[in-house]
Amino acid sequence: MLDRSFNVLVVDDEPDLLAVSRLALKRVSVLGVPVRIHEAQSKREAIEFLTTHPEGSNVALALVDVVMESDTAGLELCAFVREELQNHVMPLVIRTGQAGKAPEREVIDRYAISGFVNKVEATDTRLYSLLKGGVRQYAMTAYDFYASQLLFHVVTHLQSAARLQKAVEDGLGAIARSRRGQPLESMHDSHCMLSTAFFAGSGDLDDPLRARALSDALARGEATKLSPTGDTAIVGDAHLRIAIEPTAEFPVPLESLWTLGAPPPPFVVRALYMATKQIQVLLGLVSR
């Protein structure tokens, strides 16, 4: 996982319920990554966090009370996330204070609500289950987004290998930055892609010699085969190495190194592999 931590936003105007949620979710980890709880006591505070806090653009799950400063404040917050922020990745779980009363189907569909829980039924186990499921859902979607974001930076700079290199560096750096360009504490920022005639890196892996030494050291580990052409992945103590082998059609080999906060599940390896593979193809095109 490229994540140092997963951000979870709990929105509720009752301090006691915030304290209960904080206690229930204390020291929880998902996919080996610790969860960091952020709190807001109103729709206004939640919007302020989502729009101004650096981690507001990297929230893995929001637990939202429906009734706060108004009877529909929580639903209005869900609408803000989906319609104003255009954030369709963050799972939203709404909490109601009335036992047995579920949200209308129209609301669930309109705001892509991932689940709901009645406060009187919100046991520690129930909250734990919702958090685990929601954050896993986020991670599986987010890594496809990271890969597509990186490729967007690259595809728009295909005029030359030099511009492609700059685009890859910008794309790698963007993984650990907020919408406003602020660094994200919750994400690792040290990643790179390298070959014999190409290098693009960010964070602590922005030096070609350091990156090459790390790649060579990782290459001695046990490899997992990713393709019939011999592409492989190797997971080290703190890094993932992906190696794309040259083919007759695309003769430029490419390696990528990713700094990890926890061992990556298969869907993360697959997303980062596909991003590396597609950049290898683009690198081959501009090198012809």
Strands (E), the chain: 6-11, 29-30, 33-40, 59-65, 92-96, 113-118, 191-195, 198-201, 224-225, 232-235, 239-244, 254-259
Q: Does 215 reside within a domain?
A: yes
Instruction: Choose the final residue of a domain: 137, 168, 188.
Output: 137
- Does residue 23 have a pLDDT over 90? no
Q: Does 145 reside within a domain?
A: no
Q: Does 274 reside within a domain?
A: yes
Residue-level pLDDT at 264: 92
CATH number of the structural domain spanning residue 206: 3.30.450
The 10 Å CB-count burial string (b at 16+, else e) for 153-163 is bbeebeeebee
**Token pair of 130 as six digits:** 């919702």
Domain co-membership, 164 together with 274: yes
Domain co-membership, 41 together with 73: yes
- Does residue 154 have a pLDDT over 90? no
Domain co-membership, 122 together with 184: no
The predicted-structure confidence for 221-242, as pLDDT tens digits, reads as follows 999 999 999 999 999 999 999 9
Q: Model confidence at 216, in pLDDT bands (50, 70, 90)?
A: very high
Average pLDDT for 204-215: 95
The torsion angles phi and psi of 198, rounded to 5 degrees, stand at -150, 135
Average pLDDT for 137-152: 84
Residue-wise DSSP of 31-63: TTEEEEEEEESSHHHHHHHHHHSGGGG-EEEEE
The predicted-structure confidence for 25-73, as pLDDT tens digits, reads as follows 888 899 999 999 999 999 999 999 999 999 999 999 999 998 888 888 9
β-pairing, 239-244 vs 254-259, is antiparallel
Domain co-membership, 113 together with 225: no
CA distances (Å), 161 to each of 16, 81, 147, 198, 200, in order? 57, 38, 20, 8, 11
- Does residue 101 have a pLDDT over 70? no
Domain co-membership, 94 together with 199: no
Domain co-membership, 119 together with 160: no
Domain co-membership, 39 together with 127: yes
Q: Does 1 reside within a domain?
A: no
Domain co-membership, 14 together with 62: yes
Q: Does 148 reside within a domain?
A: no
Domain containing 114 equals 6-137
**Token pair of 43 as six digits:** 């729709």
CATH number of the structural domain spanning residue 75: 3.40.50.2300
CA triple 165-204-187, angle to 5 deg: 90
Domain co-membership, 272 together with 194: yes
Percent of the chain with pLDDT over 70: 94
